Amino acid sequence: MDTKTETAVYERTLSIAAKPETVWEFFVDSEKLMRWKGIKADLDAQPGGAYYCEVIPGHTARGAFVELDRPHRLVFTWGWDGQEGVPPGSSTIEVELTPAGEGTSLRFVHKDLPNAEAVASHGHGWDHYLPRLELAASGGDPGEDPWVTQAPPM
């Protein structure tokens, strides 16, 4: 296999105590997205629709929705305003939601990242935000995001 491809992917699977239909909304509804990630969001959840999320002050992710198979699969592009390494729309996020008993198995893949450093940086971010999603989608309150007031290096 191409080594670059192997190092350019972040993948994680988690179990969420909510139905896929519930978890889905936390990716396509701006208000619900901001419960676990972001201080401002504007989502046009249809193929070709815009994905905009100011994750923390000064760090805005932009892309476009590519594929929506409610509530099973969601694909959108991702990248950062003002960042040459991963510019808007240059990487791809795939979310697969599978019923698992009373809950959901969520498979999250962030691919097309340019190098291992970008994978590590984004992995650090997703390792912070995905547990917040898990809590929010399960009906809990992840609380205020400490990264909003103490922005980590990107």
Q: What pLDDT digit, counting tens, does each position of 29-78 carry?
A: 999 999 999 999 999 999 999 999 999 998 999 999 999 999 999 999 99
Domain annotation covers residue 153: no
Tokens encoding 60 = 């805005």
Domain annotation covers residue 152: no
Q: Check pLDDT > 90 for residue 7.
A: no
* Rounded-to-integer distance, Cα 47 and Cα 65, Å: 5
Residues 6+ apart with CB under 8 A from 72: 20, 96, 97, 98
Residues 6+ apart with CB under 8 A from 46: 65, 68
Give residue 149's Cα distance to chain centre: 20
Residue 68, domain extent: 3-146
CATH number of the structural domain spanning residue 62? 3.30.530.20
Residues 6+ apart with CB under 8 A from 35: 26, 136, 142
